Structure 1
Amino acid sequence: MSTPSKPPYLTGHFTPVVDEVTATELTVEGTLPPELSGRLLRNGHNPKPGVTPTHWFKGSGMVHGIQLREGRAEWYRNRWVKTPALDGAPYMTERGPDLTASAAGTHVIEHAGRLLALCEANLPFELTRELDTVGAYDFEGKLRTAMTAHPKEDPLTGELHFFASSPLPPFLTHYVADASGAIVHSAEVPDATGALKHDFAITRNHVVFVEGNVTFDPTDHSGIPYGWNDEQPARIGVMPRGADGAARIRWFSIEPGNMLHVSNAYEDERGRIVLEGPTVDREGFRLSWNWWIGAPGRGSEPVSHSYTRRWVVDLATGSVDERIVDDLPVEFPSLNEAYLGAENRYQYAVAFPDRQGFGSYGIVKYDRVTGARRIRRVGDARMPSEALFVPAAGSTGEDEGYLLTVVSDLKQDASQLLVLDAAGLDTLATVHLPHRVAAGLHGSWVADADTATATDRG
């Protein structure tokens, strides 16, 4: 009798890690910049041994942390986020959804001294500095919905903007937490639909939502009930920031497609909203979805037909100009977060092979002024994670700093943290990790200063 093949999200670079480990005084090749004092945190779906989730996104979250200080890599540790779902608790119960039954495997952030592991269908889960699980966090009882996995922290005010998206009414709720971590604003957003809203954007004056052609599909049995729908209008919603912003939201029609992750958004000199991010068409979504659920007809990669698109929304005329600005398959866009919501010159992303497997993984840097594209390939059978920007000490230029990415190496069955010069993408240091880290999703650089006054609650 033949053994059923494993789904792609449990093989290759995505093969789950089976143990929680702690390692100290990691080997460093090259020189770590001394101002890198903090932790690189990375989250991803990593089901326990013997567990095969019906969808990649349903795999339990595992957070990996690497502490850097004074030119040393002091420790690495990885921990599952201990939610009820890790032990098999269902999301749907007789009383409705259990917002604590979370995979908690999409993102991990720091805000107001708290570390939060995020998954958009659930409450966030708080972690200690050592990555142990404290428990579900509801902002002192003020969060009664799920929370997006992609909140945005305003670099000028320290406010955290986030939203809850639901396939049922209310479809969209916008929240703001102040710099101390207290929710100070929430409002249901009118005229939203059940379209999937995984990410969004803020500018200096607006909040920007994107509704693509992926929406609630009750016939889907993967556990993530969404699918492509040609009847679902694709739209951009532009909402003024402020207490009465939701009542003044405007929706603008765009071409069919679906965007998972925003690169950035800002108001240009004419007051137009400029929004960018990788998008897929119907075929690209089908290939990715089939990969995520392990169905026939999948592409060779989890990212296919994913090309950077730019929308320019003219609020005065009501028109939208949109175009694909690059033909390289990319995902996981990032930038110098000091420019979040403002016009930026440089963006970074992970480059993927195309659907036939041509090309290789790498870190790509875009210059939005010149249109130049530079790719730092990471080598055969090696896959980098989302590249996170950390500014250099005393930096004044947008790309004066470092990119941190964790590379999965199948040939060596190992992983390394690469520290790249953000200007030229040259390798400054390589930190060798104690085991291979499974390819995952999102993470954060958390400077020691950001949690210096935090008290671990566990």
Structure 2
Amino acid sequence: MKPMQDRVEPPFWMQGNFAPVTEEITAFDLPVDGAIPPELSGLYIRNGANPRHGQSSHWFLGDGMLHGIAIEGGKAQWYRNRYVRTPIYEGAPRTLLSGLDIRYALSNTSVVAHANRIMALVENALPMEISRELETRGFNDFGGRLATSCTAHPKICPVTGEMHFFGYRVVPPYLTYHVADAAGALVRSVEIPVKAATMIHDFALTARHAIFMDLPVVFDMPTAMTGSTMPFHWSESHGARLGVLPRGSGADTLRWIDIEPCYVYHVANAFEEANGAIVLDVARYDEHWRGGPKRNAFDTAALTRWRIPPGATRAEETCLDDRSVEFPRIDDRRTGLAHGIVYALATEGSLADGVFTELLKYDLKSGRADRRPFDGELPSEFTMVSPAEAAGEDEGWLMGYVYDRASARSDLVILDAGDIGGKPVARVRLPVRVPQGFHGTWIASEPRQRGTAASPWSWIGSN
């Protein structure tokens, strides 16, 4: 046994509920406390990093594992967890050049449903199609037309049904914007001219524009040549700006808007005011990875608003709340449209501390922030689900996985979005632990997107 002073503390992503689970299970007819609303009919899936062999060099680099619950008729029909079977999962060897291959990555970050497909996503690879039962089907390269990776945060326009997304690379072209129509065909690809390779996790969409964040976490080739798995670092000289591109236009119409240096993983939403001003709400870090991504190198992020007045070359910046938050979400029906409510998780310290303390509901019109503490529990990101197309912004439910420290098991917790501090509407009891992960989505049995079939689940199918 090593002397106490020689022991190395495991990184946060290998401790507590961040630690991986390795067994894939299927459980049917799950017990429920409370009552699942009968209007809920569909599938909740969340993705996350879950290293198959129990180790990974960074929280972002474990194999993808999907955790899904099917709900129908007021019942939780089943829970499944399944690895996303990428080439790396199947044992493909890692090399320096494999990092440039968009078919060689871990699909571990999020899930999207669009145009008859469910896809597991990570920002440095092609989308990986999965079945309703969470089984891996294979990469979706849009009929050979997609030559870049796909962001883990595509935006589906609620008006047109289009899916807007981008891919970034560490070799030119560094950034490319894509649009898939409502039927799932890739119809536009536009190279966005940026001066260097940077880490770009998210972007924003409004009714008339796509907005890209060119921020100073830059790719470091010498570090990559040493075999580092996360060769990015904070740059004092790169600067920070927003690229505003009219939807449907070429790169010649792109304009750049200066902002204070910062980093952003997640955009809550963006929209346009009546006078044409563009508004973005984001979780903003003052800086990120100065000196590179050390073991626990996360600062704290605050909910922040950028506003770009018509004709401006610099954005106005307002901190909406100085609490440490992450995973901001809205009602996805408002994507690109004016929103008044943002949901987020509050953190004790930074993400690296691994302690999410409460769910916050920001009413941006009144300035009020409602809280739901999680005493003895550890929540993950919550997803907003509305009962009907015409429902209000907080008419519906929030759902997310919550880990109970006492029982060492997890539940799917369903809350009333209008009263997040009240008793849960329902708590689906799971027989296992669901590790802390990244992003989830609700896939209704009868989807609202244009170009999809009307009968329940026929638009997705099964294995």
Range class of TM-score, shorter chain = over 0.9
Distance 1:130 1:225 in 2: 35
The residue that corresponds to 2:262 in the other structure is: 257
The residue that corresponds to 1:453 in the other structure is: 458
Distance 2:291 2:311 in 1: 38
- Report the alpha carbon displacement of residue 146 of structure 1 after superposing the two structures with TM: 0.9
SS at match of 1:436: coil
The residue that corresponds to 1:229 in the other structure is: 235
SS at match of 2:60: helix
SS at match of 2:13: helix
In structure 2, the CA distance between the partners of 1:195 and 1:256, relative to structure 1 (3 Å rule), is: same
Q: For the Cα contact (< 8 Å) 1:395–1:401, is it kept in 2?
A: no
Asked if 1:412 corresponds to 2:416, the answer is no
The residue that corresponds to 1:195 in the other structure is: 198
Q: Which moved more, 1:211-220 or 1:158-167?
A: 211-220
1:433 to 430, 454, 463: 430
Q: For the Cα contact (< 8 Å) 1:360–1:377, is it kept in 2?
A: no
In structure 2, the CA distance between the partners of 1:120 and 1:94, relative to structure 1 (3 Å rule), is: closer
The residue that corresponds to 2:162 in the other structure is: 159
Letter of the 1:20 counterpart: E
User: What aligned pairs does 1:295-444 form with structure 2 within 5 A after superposition?
Assistant: 298=296, 304-354=299-349, 361-380=357-376, 382-393=377-388, 395-425=390-420, 426=422, 427-444=424-441
- Report the alpha carbon displacement of residue 219 of structure 1 after superposing the two structures with TM: 4.1
In structure 2, the CA distance between the partners of 1:228 and 1:143, relative to structure 1 (3 Å rule), is: same
User: Cα deviations across residues 22-48 of structure 1 (Å, max 9, x unaligned)?
Assistant: 000001001111011001100000001
TM-score of the two chains, using structure 2 as the length reference:
0.91
2:131 to 128, 132, 137: 128
Asked if 1:25 corresponds to 2:29, the answer is yes
User: Cα deviations across residues 214-247 of structure 1 (Å, max 9, x unaligned)?
Assistant: 11123445402111111111111110001x3322
Letter of the 2:417 counterpart: A
In structure 2, the CA distance between the partners of 1:94 and 1:398, relative to structure 1 (3 Å rule), is: closer
Distance 1:393 1:202 in 2: 23
The residue that corresponds to 2:251 in the other structure is: 246
Asked if 1:271 corresponds to 2:276, the answer is yes
- Report the alpha carbon displacement of residue 91 of structure 1 after superposing the two structures with TM: 5.3
In structure 2, the CA distance between the partners of 1:430 and 1:273, relative to structure 1 (3 Å rule), is: same
RMSD (Å), alpha carbons? 2.2
- Report the alpha carbon displacement of residue 19 of structure 1 after superposing the two structures with TM: 0.3
Asked if 1:41 corresponds to 2:80, the answer is no
2:69 to 66, 69, 74: 66
Letter of the 2:245 counterpart: M
- Report the alpha carbon displacement of residue 89 of structure 1 after superposing the two structures with TM: 2.0
The residue that corresponds to 1:99 in the other structure is: 102
The residue that corresponds to 2:152 in the other structure is: 149
Distance 2:394 2:373 in 1: 19
In structure 2, the CA distance between the partners of 1:191 and 1:222, relative to structure 1 (3 Å rule), is: closer
- Report the alpha carbon displacement of residue 100 of structure 1 after superposing the two structures with TM: 1.8
In structure 2, the CA distance between the partners of 1:66 and 1:286, relative to structure 1 (3 Å rule), is: farther
Q: Which moved more, 1:315-324 or 1:424-433?
A: 315-324
Q: For the Cα contact (< 8 Å) 1:134–1:457, is it kept in 2?
A: no
2:114 to 111, 114, 126: 111
Q: For the Cα contact (< 8 Å) 2:111–2:119, is it kept in 1?
A: yes
- Report the alpha carbon displacement of residue 311 of structure 1 after superposing the two structures with TM: 0.8
Gaps of 5+ in 2: 448-455
Gaps of 5+ in 1: none
TM-score of the two chains, using structure 1 as the length reference:
0.92
Q: Which moved more, 1:85-94 or 1:15-24?
A: 85-94
SS at match of 2:221: coil
- Report the alpha carbon displacement of residue 270 of structure 1 after superposing the two structures with TM: 1.8
Distance 2:131 2:74 in 1: 24
Q: For the Cα contact (< 8 Å) 1:215–1:229, is it kept in 2?
A: yes
SS at match of 2:446: helix
